[in-house]
């Protein structure tokens, strides 16, 4: 029996958006399991809207119907986490040319750091999600806008609770 092919979908996920969900579901065509992994650093903790535990919990709830998707968090280098989890593939969504410049740099660096053990694939989102970003969702939600079209139901509920609506 061959080993299961594990892909990582790393990110900040503050919060998980429907754009992320779209990319993760597309990623299932490329791997047996996709681990959606929230990256965090206790020293440079980016002031986020959601805690790391909340982000992981919301990923879990949003993919409750898909046993091949798992939620986790990690600190430190992605290549070290990939080695620990046995993943050989990183999946990243790319919306724009600007995204691609940063993503290509990270992909090549991760391959270098892993001695060719970690490849990255870029997936394009569906057109409906090509303008959705967690940064914009965070901003719109914080300023009282409606983000119901851009996030999964569990995320919407949590944002409403958190922002007192
Ligand atoms: O959602 P984001 O913020 O665009 O995700 C960026 C992320 C988490 C994928 C990237 O910052 C990352 O891989 N961080 C882990 C630390 C690491 O390995 N850095 C070196 C990358 S070459």
CATH number reported for the structural domain that contains residue 94 in this entry? 3.40.50.620
3-state secondary structure of 43: coil
Structural domain boundaries, residue 84: 6-162
Residue pLDDT, tens place only, 114-161:
999 999 999 999 999 999 999 999 999 999 999 999 999 999 999 999
Residue pLDDT, tens place only, 60-75:
999 999 999 999 999 9
Q: Which of 12, 39, 87, 138 has most ligand 1 atoms within 8 Å of its beta carbon, as the pocket-test mutant?
A: 39
State how many domains the chain has: 1
In a domain, 1, yes or no: no
In a domain, 81, yes or no: yes
Q: Is 73 in the pocket of ligand 1 (CB under 6 A)?
A: no
Residue 10 CA to ligand 1 center (angstroms) comes to: 7
In a domain, 142, yes or no: yes
Residue 7 CA to ligand 1 center (angstroms) comes to: 15
Residues 6+ positions from 25 with CB-CB distance below 8 Å: 66
Q: Which residues of 64-78 are buried (b: 16+ CB within 10 A; e: fewer)?
A: eeeeebbbebbeeeb
Q: Is 77 in the pocket of ligand 1 (CB under 6 A)?
A: yes
**Does the pLDDT value for residue 46 go beyond 60?**
no
Q: Which of 42, 77, 110 has most ligand 1 atoms within 8 Å of its beta carbon, as the pocket-test mutant?
A: 77
In a domain, 103, yes or no: yes
In a domain, 13, yes or no: yes
Virtual torsion, Cα 68, 71, 77, 81, nearest 10 deg: -50
Q: With 0-12 CB in 10 A as exposed, 13-18 as middle and 19+ as buried, what is 38?
A: buried
pLDDT tier for residue 165 given thresholds of 50, 70 and 90: confident
In a domain, 124, yes or no: yes
């Amino acid at each position: 029996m061959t080993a299961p092919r594990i892909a990582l979908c790393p990110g900040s996920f503050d919060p998980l958006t429907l754009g992320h969900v779209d990319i993760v579901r597309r990623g299932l065509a490329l791997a047996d399991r996709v681990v959606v992994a929230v990256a965090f650093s206790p020293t440079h903790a980016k002031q986020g809207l959601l805690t790391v535990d909340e982000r992981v919990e919301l990923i879990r709830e949003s993919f409750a119907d898909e046993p091949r998707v798992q939620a986790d968090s990690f600190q430190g280098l992605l290549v070290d986490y990939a080695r620990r989890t046995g993943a050989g593939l990183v999946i990243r969504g790319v919306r724009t040319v600007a995204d691609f410049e940063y993503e290509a740099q990270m992909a090549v660096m991760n391959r270098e750091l892993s001695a060719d053990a970690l490849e990255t694939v870029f997936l394009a989102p569906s057109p409906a999600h090509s303008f959705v970003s967690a940064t914009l969702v965070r901003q719109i939600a914080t300023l009282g806008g409606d983000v119901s079209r851009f996030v999964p139901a569990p995320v919407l509920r949590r944002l409403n609770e958190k922002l007192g609506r």
